[in-house]
Amino acid sequence: MVVCASHSPGMERDVERMYGTEFREGLSRARQIVEEFDPDYIVLFGGDHRRAFRHVVPTFGVALSAGIMAEAGHEAAGLAVPQELARELAEHLLESGIDIAVCRDIELDHAFAQPLRDLTGALGRYPVIPVAINCATAPLPRAERVLALGDAVGRFLDSKSGRVLVIGTGGLSHSPPSLELDTYDISDAERARIIAEGSEAARKKIKPAWDAAFLEAVRTADREALVALTDDAHSNAGAGANEVRTWLAASAAGGGVGLELLAYQPVEEWITGMAVAVSR
């Protein structure tokens, strides 16, 4: 089963749940579907916001052990990574011609934490293999290589028994001020200042027409359109739109089937075009 969903720190700051009602409803339906599916483990494709990976940035990385950093009022926590299975996946990818990095004891941010909390209710409810895709630090992987990564993960999962939930998280159109800067070595305080100063302008950088085109390509599993939209995402839909690479990888890993859209809502208060889609 595949679930792709946007994430946003703004959603967690919205503690009174005033905004993004349509998206939240779609996310709730996705969670119900996940609970009914009851996976044996999860493969989670996520990006990084130049926090886990700063000086060395893998194009693709498989985590053999990982945790979630303290962030947005949440305490740090470990993830239940099935190390033997993750190691098998890493070896399979290398044998398939996908050059990946192996990560140990990596601390991941909300790109990984938020979908786990939103879709399963807790970080540790299911074993999870985090697969990082560079969506923030240029040069970025081309969309064709991201699809090849997803295809190779899919072949690996086809060789295993059990129910697997594949998650892609990020996007759609948005341009966070901190990601617009071509820099990596800034403090959390400086990051917060940059975001605060640029947040008003970022509210107007959502591109619903681009989002609609991307979601239609996801629905029809149109790989040619997905490649074209993703490779030009930065210029047409903002720096944060690069995260749709995780959607490409997840949908390919799930067999390349089209995904059913549960909700789309441009939420200016979260500076993001928010969407959630599932395979059936």
Q: What is the set of active-site residues?
A: 110, 174
How far is it, in rounded angstroms, from Cα 150 to Cα 223?
A: 12
How far is it, in rounded angstroms, from Cα 141 to Cα 130?
A: 18
Cβ(27)–Cβ(270) under 8 Å?
A: no
Pairing type for strands 260-267 and 272-278 reads: antiparallel
Using CB atoms within 10 A of its CB, is residue 265 exposed (0-12), middle (13-18) or buried (19+)? Answer: buried
Q: What string of DSSP letters covers 69-89?
A: --BTTBPPEE----HHHHHHH
Taking alpha carbons only, the member of 205, 209, 183 closest to residue 194 is 183
Phi, psi of 78 (to 5 degrees): -90, 160
C-alpha separations of 152 from 93, 125, 265 in Å: 6, 26, 32
Cβ(42)–Cβ(114) under 8 Å?
A: no
Cβ(139)–Cβ(51) under 8 Å?
A: no
Sheet bearing 106-108, strands edge to edge = 77-78, 66-68, 106-108
Tokens of 237: 């839909």
